Structure 1
Amino acid sequence: MMNRTVPHAETPGRSVPGRFRGPFTRWPRGADAVLATAMFLAAVLLEDAPGDAMAFRTVTGIFQPVLLLFVVAGAALYRRRRRPVAVLCVALAAWAPTLGSTYSTMGGMVIVALYSVGRHADDNRWGPLGVVAAIAAITIDGLLHSYPWGDITFGNLFMSGAWYLGRRLRLRAGRAARLHQEQAAEARRIVTEERTHIARELHDVVAHRVSMMTVQAGAARMVAAEDPQGALEAMAAVEEAGRQALDELRHLLGVLRPEAERDGLGPQPGLADLPRLVAEVREAGLDVLVADGIRNPLPARVDLSAYRIVQEALTNVLKHSGPGTRTEVHVRGEDDGITIEVLDDGHGAAVRSVSAAHEGRPGHGIVGMRERALLLGGSLDAQPRPGGGFRLTAHLPTKGEPT
């Protein structure tokens, strides 16, 4: 049938519903400004004290050229996303003159810069070089301060780990972006394939008979004055060809999708056939409640598309959640069209977690339903519900021309 993954053509990096987004994702510029200010103040106001402790120092007692180095490194840190390699070079260059002194407190800035290179730099060659330079700097600083080798080693590992963490996050984000692009490309391919299929079938099935109708109508017009009987026969042939074309169009709508339960020879179903469809899925074990608020007759194309959308949605619930799933179908009439909403609680006999139920490649089902809605000038949205289960909402206009 279909896969319940919903392919949306969104930009990479769009968050999954319910996923936590921290301040560095929500407000990147503001968060970077706060981070740069915090690192600058830490470098300025803190200094090493005996016993592996930190002590505060007064700003007035700082050597002015060193304060300038702090300012330059802190200001550069604000650009860590756009120019990560340059920021790392500035941080290392500003740190180097202070090594071995009480002002060598820019290690935090270097750690942030190393993380930023791993997270945001496009050229992977600079990361290892930056790690080597940072390790050399912290080793020199530790030897000049006579720190134990254990502390120096820990500092080296921390520097390396900051870059490695940034790189791992960047690789994971890259894989997620590629997967999103592949899913979007697959969705576009499915839509194009379905449109091509429909166009090819329409040409093969209808074009011949429409051509015959045109020729016969032209012949009837030419002989109408001299041979009324021949004109009548030609018009009868046009009528017969038109009926055959309509029959073949109805058959085409039924056979384009392989899951159609009819043989295509009878009339196409509509919302009036929902009771029979509901009875079938109830026999399969689905607990379905239907609220049909449509009272006025609908255009044939809207009636058929509405029925097919409900049919595929119920099939999807039965496939992914299994028997016993409580499902609600609401069909409402509005001023400009109808709205279809299919809800399920996802608590059937075959229930799985939301993530497991929506893994995999996007199938033709939701793409096909969305295509039906778009061809009518409407819309369709399908997504997991916060408490479990799935929600599908379609709006089909009943006025205006279909797209």
Structure 2
Amino acid sequence: MANASEPEKPFDGAMMNRTALPSETLVRGVPGRFRGPFARWPRTADAVLAAAMLLAAVFVEEAPGDALRIRPITDVPVPVLLLYAVAGAALYWRGREPVAVVSVALVAWGPTLGSSYSTSGGIVIVALYSVGRYAADTRRSRLCTAAAIAAAVAAVVIDGLLNSVPWGDIGFGAVVMFGAWYIGRRLRLRAQRAARLRQEQAAETRRIVAEERTHIARELHDVVAHRVSMMTVQAGAARMVAADDPQEALAAMAAVEQAGRQALDELRHLLGVLRPDADRDRLGPQPRLADLHQLVEQVREAGLDISVTGGVEAALPARVELSAYRIVQEALTNVLKHSGPRTQTEVRLSCESGGLTIEVLDDGRGAAVPSVSAGAHGGVPGHGIVGMRERALLLGGSLDAGPRPGGGFRLAAHLPTSGEPA
């Protein structure tokens, strides 16, 4: 008869060390990022920059011989001061509305071209850099950016001709205008590449950890299987001798009990090893419709102009509330991804006797993909819509998504609140 107290296979310390090492190595290999003031305190830094550029436009002017000099503020007419103030103040919003800021700066610079007060070109340079650094990568934004660069170059040429500036200096000024945008654009692309690299490294870390967990699970499975096999043999032996030798049968059943307890301990360890990280929202309670306001606040902070109408008064099945929350979450993520911030978005919720109806409407254009209904089988939409559709179908519901006639995008889902899922 097998002995329940035989030594176990040593695996805990070595295998857990193997699990930790790949993650630590990759994390330590990622270089730390330097974060300047515009990344740490963006609003304060933009306010300081706007004030500095405004003071430069007001007090600094060109002197003979390509020199600079300080002029008294009393020498600047009030209308020109107002133009400077508008252009300088606009720089405060350069990170959020870069295209609008460069438009304001160009309009404020225009009336002063050809005069000694044409000193707000520096504000235009900063605004062009901001367009390259922060403007959304959409067709409309690209067209506005091209128009802004062309207008800035034209302003440099007009100002130079009116002031009889040599063509070499005019060409240099035009290059500076274009170069400001180009530098901002290159920095934006570099930041995006760095973000992708960090995501790839994090994904590689998760992949390696998952492989190690699978390896650990196999070894732990061998240990648990050994214990269960031992229990089966001992239980069979106890049954065979129960009639003739009750004491030996009791001893065998005690060994079965001990082996069962050890198997349970090892099984708990197995589940602990395979449990996903806490930061993936798997350890806490699943979200419900009552948590929708937190999701709305998060997307508002991301820049989405969102409103929620309607609501759900009665308690719904947990599976319906979870699916409804995930559908709204994915729909809002798609709006941010395809239409960008500042998109007017409305979430409508209504609960009738037949089930819960969800509508997500936006006025953007980026999400204009072929219409997808719960019953459609032609065409392959994006993974987000496929996932939402599957959630609705598993509950026996339906989902429609497609462009709105007046522009924008509409997603409508109906989730039954009773009955069996399809």
Query: How high is the TM-score relative to the length of structure 1?
Result: 0.52
CA distance in 1, matches of 2:23, 2:243: 64
Alignment of 1:37-52 (within 5 A): 37-52=51-66
Q: 2:126 aligns with which of 112, 119, 129?
A: 112
CA distance in 2, matches of 1:157, 1:197: 59
Confirm or deny that 1:154 pairs with 2:172. yes
CA distance in 1, matches of 2:57, 2:167: 23
Tell me the CA shift for residue 30 of structure 1.
2.6
Deviations 1:291-336 (A, max 9, x none): xxxxxxxxxxxxxxxxxxxxxxxxxxxxxxxxxxxxxxxxxxxxxx
2:226 corresponds to which letter in structure 1? R
Tell me the CA shift for residue 25 of structure 1.
3.8
Contact 1:84 1:116 survives alignment (8 Å)? yes
Tell me the CA shift for residue 89 of structure 1.
1.0
Confirm or deny that 1:227 pairs with 2:244. yes
Confirm or deny that 1:181 pairs with 2:199. yes
Find the residue that maps to 1:146 and give its secondary structure.
coil
Find the residue that maps to 1:54 and give its secondary structure.
strand
Tell me the CA shift for residue 54 of structure 1.
2.6
Return the structure number with greater relative CO, CA threshold 8 A, min gap 6: 1
CA distance in 2, matches of 1:107, 1:239: 85
Tell me the CA shift for residue 60 of structure 1.
2.7
Structure 2 residue aligned with 1:206: 223
Contact 2:60 2:69 survives alignment (8 Å)? yes
Tell me the CA shift for residue 141 of structure 1.
0.9
Contact 1:44 1:59 survives alignment (8 Å)? yes
Tell me the CA shift for residue 128 of structure 1.
3.2
Confirm or deny that 1:86 pairs with 2:105. no
Aligned residues: 241
1:211 corresponds to which letter in structure 2? V
Deviations 1:89-133 (A, max 9, x none): 111111112111222111000111111111122226143332211
Find the residue that maps to 1:8 and give its secondary structure.
helix
Tell me the CA shift for residue 232 of structure 1.
6.9
Contact 2:50 2:92 survives alignment (8 Å)? yes
Contact 1:216 1:237 survives alignment (8 Å)? no
- Aligned CA-pair RMSD: 3.7
2:202 corresponds to which letter in structure 1? A
Find the residue that maps to 1:137 and give its secondary structure.
helix
1:8 corresponds to which letter in structure 2? V
Structure 2 residue aligned with 1:7: 26
1:169 corresponds to which letter in structure 2? L
Alignment of 1:318-337 (within 5 A): none
Distance 1:96 1:141, change over 3 A: same
Structure 1 residue aligned with 2:185: 167
2:229 corresponds to which letter in structure 1? M
Tell me the CA shift for residue 35 of structure 1.
1.4
Confirm or deny that 1:96 pairs with 2:83. no
Contact 1:100 1:140 survives alignment (8 Å)? yes
Deviations 1:168-215 (A, max 9, x none): 111111111111100001101111121122223322x13433323343
Q: 1:75 aligns with which of 82, 86, 89?
A: 89
Structure 1 residue aligned with 2:232: 215
Find the residue that maps to 1:24 and give its secondary structure.
helix
Find the residue that maps to 1:78 and give its secondary structure.
helix
CA distance in 1, matches of 2:244, 2:133: 85
Find the residue that maps to 1:48 and give its secondary structure.
strand
CA distance in 1, matches of 2:83, 2:158: 19
Gaps of 5+ in 2: 1-17, 268-422
Query: How high is the TM-score relative to the length of structure 2?
Result: 0.50
Gaps of 5+ in 1: 250-403
Alignment of 1:2-401 (within 5 A): 6-8=25-27, 16=32, 21-123=35-137, 125=142, 126-203=144-221, 205-219=222-236, 226-228=243-245, 231=249, 234=252
